[in-house]
Every structure is written in structure tokens, then in C-alpha cells.
Amino acid sequence: MLQGTLIYGFINSVMLLLVALGFNLTFGISGVANFAFGALYITAGFLAWIGLNTLGLPYWLAGCAAVLITAVLAGLLYRFVVLRVRGLVVSEVIATFGVGLAILELFRFLGFIGFEYTLPEMLDLEVSLGGVIVDGQRLTILLVGAGLTLFLWLFTRHTRTGRAFRAIAQDEHTALTLGINTERVATVSVAFGAAYAAVAALVILPLGTIAVNEGYHVLVNALAVCIVGGLGSTLGVIVASFMIGFAQTFTATYLDTSWMMVVSLLAILVILLVRPSGLFGSQKQLEERI
């Protein structure tokens, strides 16, 4: 029992991590809190579903197309919505929140509700980890989660765009003077974050159905992890994912799944009281927060 809870807690943590990485990436680089994040996640799921079932594309093609289209959509969202209110934090939040709502509720209106909206699993096998049976999809989540984290780490350190990301994250104005087109990099960062959301959707959604409400849950989870970890800090996001992930799984096992969201909220409250800047947040962040 405990072993199972531990392993499923670990998997749940990686799921949170997958979801939070993208949100955190965008915020850390361009300072845009993308409240349409959950909507993009669900969009990717439906895009892949349409590619597979309506257009009859092979899995890999439908998947890649979904990720790509989601990224482009996010880039457009930045260009045509966020950029116009850039710097007005409240307007940024309200505008992206509005876009997210419009997308999600449009899906609901168009009738994308039901058990037929599922994505196929990638690996069809079962593995026994210390006596606990883990299915192929959850293994995929572990692998992809580790892969994406590693990729992000390598990308921001060893590629030109990645270094530009970090430069902007440090100080946008200085980056400008260094000849970095901050606007373009910010667009890319939003698209990049959305691509992460799309990949997360492709590996997580096969566990259940593609449900509109899941979009809101994903946003809430991403927010919780990022607040606890410290927005913009990748290490913080990793640690926070595991803290909240295990806490959620234990609550679900020993209490009830309905309390899982309460855990996220309590985690936020506790961290705000103990360490207002988040686990690994900087002084700059503390000043933004309080």
C-alpha cells in the first residue's frame, strides 16, 4: 500500500512538473503569466484527437502537429493580445485569462465532452516496480518528464536562443542593449511554454478523457507549483512539484480525491507565511510579491 502510494506519488509529481515547467518557463523569461495555459493544454489534446480520429493521421504526425500548432497559437496570442498590453500586469492577466476562458468554453459549447475523446497510450506494456504494477503510459510520463527537464536545462545553457532566454530573464533592458530582440525572444518563450504544455497534454491525457474542466485544473496546479517553488526558478519548480505531488497523492489515498486541490492551496498558504518569495525565489521576486 505505502509502496504503491510512494510510486504513484512520484508519478503524480512528475505530472505536475510537466505541467508547471511550461508555465514557469514563459513567466521566468518574459514575465508573462500565461493564464491561457490550461486552455492551450486542452487545445493540444483536442488537436491531436482531431488529427488521429477525424483526419486519420498516424500517431507521430498528429502529435507533432498538435505541439506545433499549439506553439504557434501561443505565439500569436502573445503577438496580438499580450504585446498590446505589455507591462500592464493586470491587463496581461485579464487578457490571457479571457482568451483561455473563451477557448475552453468554446470547446464545451462545440460539444467536445464525452468518453470518446481520449488519446491512445504510447507504450502498451506493464512493468512491476517493487511489486507495484505500473502501466506503459505512466512510464512514458516518467521518461518524458525527465527528458523535458534535461532538455530545458541543456537548452538554456548551450544554445543561442536559450542563452538569450536567460539574458532576458535577468534584465530585459540590458538584454536589449546587447542586441537581443527581446520581443521576438519573448514570443518564442511563450510559444515554447505552450509547446511544453502540449507535450504534457499528449503524455498525460491518455490516462483519462480530454475534459474541458481539466484545463482549469491544470492551470490551478501549475500556479500552485510555481508559487510554491518561486516563479521563474526551475529548481524551485522541481522541488515544489514533488512536495505537492506527494502531498496530493497521500491525501487522495488516505482521504479523498476531492481534497487534492485543498492540498495545493494549503501548500501556497504555508509557503507564503514561511517563505513569501517561494522556496527558491530571489529577493527581486519577494519585492514583486509583497
| Cα angle for residues 154, 157, 163 (degrees, 5° grid) | 130
99 belongs to the binding site for another protein (CB under 8 A): yes
Find the length of the chain: 290
| 8 Å CB contact between 188 and 163 | no
Mask for 223-242, x = binds another protein (CB under 8 A) = xx--x---------------
User: Between residues 223 and 237, which has the closer beta carbon with respect to another protein?
Assistant: 223
114 DSSP assignment: S
Contact between 89 and another protein by CB under 8 A: the answer reads: yes
183 binds another protein per the rule CB under 8 A:
no
Per rule CB under 8 A, is residue 258 in the interface with another protein?
Answer: yes
> Closest CB to another protein among 111 and 130?
111
254 is a contact residue toward another protein (CB under 8 A): no
Q: Which amino acid is at 2?
A: L
**DSSP 8-state secondary structure symbol assigned to residue 208:** S
Contact between 275 and another protein by CB under 8 A: the answer reads: no
C-alpha cell at 117: 475523446
Q: Are 75 and 10 in contact (CB under 8 A)?
A: no
Q: Which segment (59-67, 95-103, 164-172, 179-187) binds another protein by CB under 8 A?
A: 95-103
Q: Which residues between 33 and 52 bind another protein (CB under 8 A)?
A: 33, 35
Helix (H, G, I), strand (E, B) or coil at 128: strand
Contact pick of 72, 268, 271, 279 for another protein (by CB under 8 A): 268
Does 126 contact another protein by CB under 8 A? no
Distance between CA atoms of residues 83 and 74, nearest Å: 12
Q: For residue 134, give the amino acid letter.
A: V
Instruction: Read off the C-alpha cell for 112.
Output: 467536445
Instruction: Pick the stretch among 151-159, 163-171, 192-200, 259-267 that binds another protein (CB under 8 A).
Output: 259-267
Q: In the complex with another protein, which residue's Cβ is closer, 98 or 120?
A: 98
Answer yes or no whether residue 66 interacts with another protein by CB under 8 A: no
- By the rule CB under 8 A, 64 interacts with another protein: no
Tell me which of 125, 154, 235, 269 binds another protein, using CB under 8 A. 269
Phi, psi of 7 (to 5 degrees): -65, -45
Q: Which stretch binds another protein (CB under 8 A): 54-62, 101-109, 153-161, 171-179?
A: 101-109
**What 8-state DSSP symbol labels residue 132?**
E
- Kindly state whether residue 79 participates in binding another protein, applying the rule CB under 8 A: no
Only one of the segments 129-137, 163-171, 217-225, 242-250 lies at the binding site for another protein (rule: CB under 8 A); that segment is: 217-225
Secondary structure letter of residue 53 according to DSSP = I
Q: Looking at 80-88, 127-135, 167-175, 190-198, which segment touches another protein (CB under 8 A)?
A: 80-88
**How big, in percent rounded to 5, are the helix, strand and coil portions of the chain?**
75, 5, 20
Determine the Cα–Cα distance for residues 251 and 271; give it in Å rounded to an integer: 18
Cβ count near 94 (within 10 Å)? 13
- Listed residue (81, 65, 75, 71) closest to 41, CA to CA: 71
- Applying CB under 8 A, which residues contact another protein? 33, 35, 81, 84-85, 89-91, 93-95, 97-99, 101-102, 105-106, 108-109, 216, 219-220, 223-224, 227, 256, 258-262, 264-265, 268-269, 272-273, 276, 282-283, 288-290
